[in-house]
A and B are shown apart, each in its own frame.
Chain A
Amino acid sequence: MHLFRFLATPMVMLCLLYLQGCTAWQINQLSAELPAVGPEKTLEKLEDIDPPDRDRSKYLLNRGLLKFYTGDLAGSRQDLEQAKAIMMSLKAVSLSENFGALTTNETLRSYGGTPSEQVLVHAMLAMGYLFSGDRDGARVEMLQADVTMSQLGDTESVSGQLASVRFLAGLVYEMNGELDDAMISYRRAHQIIRARKEKVPEALASSLLNVSLRRNNENRNDAEYQRYVSEFGREASLPGAHEGEWIVFYHDGVVTNKTETRLLVFDPNLEAQISVVMPNYPPSRYQTRHLSIKVGDIRNTEVIEMIEQRAREDLADQSAKTMAAATVRAITKYQMVRKARESGELGGFLANIAGLLSEQADVRSWNMLPSSIQLARLVTPLDASVGIVAKNVELPALNKLGSRHYGVVLVTSLNNRLLSYPPYEGLESIEGQPNEQ
């Protein structure tokens, strides 16, 4: 009887932990269903979930992104700003959370986001500001992203360095006429892609060629410009007097959820095999689908950021630390079970069950992000419309948008709503279902 009273409180706490774990599972389930269900219905279901405080940032990141896709830009900014503030505040080490994580499991830490997520929140906010018509607001986010990436990065690692965010920063500066800053950002995007040995998308090649030429008063003998000409095998194609440019961003798919893997580790001190759980990504089943755009001929978007890959890299960077913590925890629990067994078989059995139930891998992530971010940069006559083939939408002519030089549009595979800068009402196809390609 005394033993039951002794174990009652931990068992109740375990049940509570499990119930809270349910909300994490529910959100992961929603993320898995998102490509089929679409962001509107997923958002409705997500709003019915009340996450524990420690998962609040993850919840807000997902809700902010869904609001963004459904066109609620003000709501999206509010959620993402809140998530960003929470993630910033979590940079200080928490004593209570560390104790909880070391004795129970990693999910007791508040969710502070992976390096890529900490940078992507700025990018999503920048797009939210841009598509609301607030170019200076987008510029603020890009400056903050630069600070975040500088803090995350070091000279030898590309962890937390995102070419897509550098490209977006370059574009915002370029639209503001700040060509030197634009060049720095495009150059950095190029360096990141080269460091990862990925293919440089045509849109980035065009940006590097055009801006390096324009910032030197179109001097084609400039050394940097010539370097890009030889690398990409073509000259810059600057828009003529009656031409402008569409920059098309395409978010394709939904990033894979983390799963839990149980591993057996031999501990030489205990001379026993101990079981640890680790977060893991299953092999990606994502197949890149490109967006076709009709500008006279058909052009396709190209991948600038494979989020599937970034998520796996972030997890791999953390794996040694996570493994060490999981091993320490497993050893502590093993010793507790052994002691409980000494006081009786039932106590040992219950302690073993408690240890197994409490051991959960941290499978939290910003799991409604796209699998890939793609883009295209297209020169078009100012009075010509551009067709987004799969969505059955015609983008208005740039002169109808009130823009003489640039139009930016975001298309997602998840629904048929398009967001544009300058903002333009009615960019939505009437026909078609979510994910119809």
Chain B
Amino acid sequence: MKIWVVIFAVLLFSGCGTSVERVDSDSTIDLSGAWNDSDSRLVAQEMIQDVLSRPWITDFTTRSGERPAVIVGTVRNLSHEHINLKTFVADMERELVNSGRVDFVASKDERGEIRDERLDQDLNARDDTRNAAGQELGADFMLSGQINTIIDAEGKQQVRFYQVDLTLISMADNRKVWLGQKKIKKLIKNPSIRY
């Protein structure tokens, strides 16, 4: 009799404690089917690999003799989910910078902070360590885009289709030099029964 009580108690309380397991940050774990860190990282990697492999980069380098300077503009979330675009943009920035094939210009917000710091240097820093205003590197290209979704839901099943569109535009003449697209399709089956 006692053994059954123990087994019952073990079964009863086995689901009560919090458990933490450390996993590799590159591993893919899908819980709800929503956009997650893996989608963000994989889309950013694939799209930046694509943009860096296209002819615009060699065309620009041959013409100007310099590496192109790129800035990431607005990436809009037009999807059905609240997506943290900051991580997606950061993933893209990291891939671009680490490629070593383009120069990367700070974003609008970052520039404001740096300009404030430069003004402060003007007042407070030693002459030989001061950085002058008006020496910033202007971007040659702007990368912008949007994330869209189409959702088809019926009963407990849902198909989520994500389409990420990125565009690289020449700042000199508004030419679109690269159009990138990545699609993700997920079939989500929600449980019909819970305990």
Q: Indicate the member of B81, B82, B156 with the most A CB atoms within 10 Å.
A: B82
Count of A-B residue pairs with CB < 8 Å? 39
Q: How far is the CB of B15 from chain A (nearest CB, A)?
A: 13
* B191 near A92: Cβ-Cβ < 8 Å: yes
In the assembly, what is the distance between CA of A194 and CA of B103, in Å? 59
Enumerate chain B residues within 8 angstroms of A147, measured Cβ to Cβ: 80, 151, 153
Verify B78–A136 contact, CB threshold 8 A.
Answer: yes
Whether B190 is near chain A, meaning CB under 8 Å from some CB there, is yes
Tell me, rounded to whole Å, the shortest Cβ–Cβ distance linking B147 to chain A: 10
> Of the candidates A95, A140, A150, A151, which one forms a contact with B81 in the assembled complex, judged by CB atoms under 8 Å apart?
A140
State the Cβ distance, A92 to closest chain B Cβ, in Å.
4
Is B79 in contact with A143, judged by CB distance below 8 angstroms? yes
Interface size on B, residues (CB 8 A): 17
- Interface size on A (CB < 8 Å)? 16
For B82, what are the chain A residues with a Cβ–Cβ distance below 8 Å? 137, 140
Q: Does A285 contact B (CB under 8 A)?
A: no
Quick check: B195 and A95 within 8 Å, CB to CB? yes
Given A147-B151, A150-B153, A151-B153, does the pair A92, B193 have CB atoms closer than 8 Å? Answer: yes
Q: Does B77 contact A (CB under 8 A)?
A: yes
Contact: A94 with B79, CB < 8 Å? no
Q: How far is the CA of A14 from the CA of B43 in the complex (A)?
A: 55
Interface centre among A92, A137, A144 (most CB of B within 10 A): A92
| Binary interface encoding of chain A residues 84-113 relative to chain B, with 1 for a CB under 8 A from any of its CBs, else 0 | 000001011111100000000000000000
User: In chain B between 136 and 195, which residues have their CB closer than 8 angstroms to a CB of chain A?
Assistant: 149, 151, 153, 156, 190-195
List chain B residues, Cβ under 8 A from A140: 77, 79-82
Verify if B76 is at the interface (C-beta below 8 Å from A): yes
| Pair B194/A93 contact, Cβ less than 8 Å | yes
Query: Of A95, A136, A144, A151, which one neighbours B193 at CB under 8 angstroms?
Result: A95
Identify the closest chain A residue to B149 (Cβ): A143
A153 to chain B, nearest CB (A): 12
Neighbour of B80 across the interface among A91, A143, A151, CB < 8 A: A143
Shortest A116–chain B CB gap in Å is 19
Contacts of A92 in B (CB 8 A): 156, 190-194
B53 to chain A, nearest CB (A): 31
CA–CA, A140 to B79, complex, Å? 6
Whether A136 touches B195, Cβ cut-off 8 Å, given contacts A91-B190, A151-B153, is: no
Task: Give B79's nearest chain A residue, CB to CB.
Answer: A140
| A137 to B195 CA separation, bound complex (whole angstroms) | 34
| A93 touching B193 in the complex, CB below 8 Å, given contacts A147-B151, A147-B153 | yes
Bound-state CA distance A144–B156 (Å) is 16
Contacts of A150 in B (CB 8 A): 153
Q: Which residue of B lies closest to A110 (CB)?
A: B194
For the complex, what is the distance from the CA of A91 to the CA of B191, rounded to whole Å?
A: 9
Taking a contact as CB atoms under 8 Å apart, the answer to whether A94 and B195 are in contact is yes
Report chain B residues within 8 Å CB of A67: none
The 8 Å CB contact of A96, one of B76, B81, B192, B195, is B195
Selected from A93, A94, A136, A144, the residue in CB contact (under 8 A) with B77 is A136
B residues with a Cβ closer than 8 A to A are 76-82, 149, 151, 153, 156, 190-195
Q: A89-B194, A136-B77, A147-B151 are in contact. List 20 more A-B contacts (CB 8 A).
A: A91-B156, A91-B190, A92-B191, A92-B192, A92-B193, A93-B194, A94-B194, A95-B193, A95-B195, A136-B76, A137-B82, A140-B79, A140-B81, A140-B82, A143-B79, A143-B151, A144-B80, A147-B80, A150-B153, A151-B153
Q: Offer 14 A-B interface pairs, CB within 8 angstroms, sorted by A.
A: A93-B192, A94-B194, A95-B195, A96-B195, A136-B77, A136-B78, A137-B82, A139-B78, A140-B82, A143-B79, A143-B80, A143-B151, A147-B151, A150-B153
Q: Top 4 closest A-B pairs, CB basis?
A: A92-B194, A143-B80, A92-B191, A94-B194
